[in-house]
Amino acid sequence: MTHFPQPHPSRRAARVQLGDSVLAAIRLEDGRRTKAKLQTISATGGLLRLTESLVQGDFVEVAFQTQAGPVHGMAEVLSPMRETLDGVLQPFRFVALEDEDHRRLRTSLDHVVARSLPSMKPNMFSAH
């Protein structure tokens, strides 16, 4: 079954900062492919560092590796945040994830938080 991540109306999803350590493969609607570095990730989306910006509103496939395994999902490209010396930071929001991809993403997010903030409760990325 496909999972459709929904943001909570009154609070943002918890985010994990990744720096430049996670590569992401992006496939655009026209079939072209590009690579990015995943800067930030949450259960509902993330922030990519790209060499050039994507078109706001486009739907793309995003794939990246986590400690729990590969995550592959459909995402909507949001407005670029800012340009950097080596490209642009551009957010995206997940619009569809298969159940196993969603499980791997949440497991990985929970693991990173538990390792860096032992006082945080497990499953903080769960939908409530």
Task: Answer whether residue 75 shows pLDDT above 50.
Answer: yes
How far apart CA 14 and CA 113 sit, in angstroms, is 10
Domains of the chain, earliest start first:
14-116 (2.40.10.220)
Task: Name 74's bridge partners.
Answer: 61, 96
Helix (H) or strand (E) holding 50: strand 45-50
For the chain, what percentages of helix, strand and coil (3-state, to nearest 5) are there? 15, 50, 40
Average pLDDT, the chain: 83
- Residue 84 near residue 49 (C-beta atoms within 8 A): yes
Percent of the chain with pLDDT over 70: 74
**What is the distance between the alpha carbons of residues 124 and 128, in angstroms, rounded to a whole number?**
9
* Residue whose entry in the numeric block shows the structure tokens 């990325």: 125
Residue 106 token pair: 């949440």
What is d(CA 63, CA 94) in angstroms, rounded to the nearest whole number? 11
- Confidence check: pLDDT of 5 > 50: yes
- Give mean pLDDT, residues 75-93: 90
Closest CA to 26 of 15, 17, 16, 37: 37
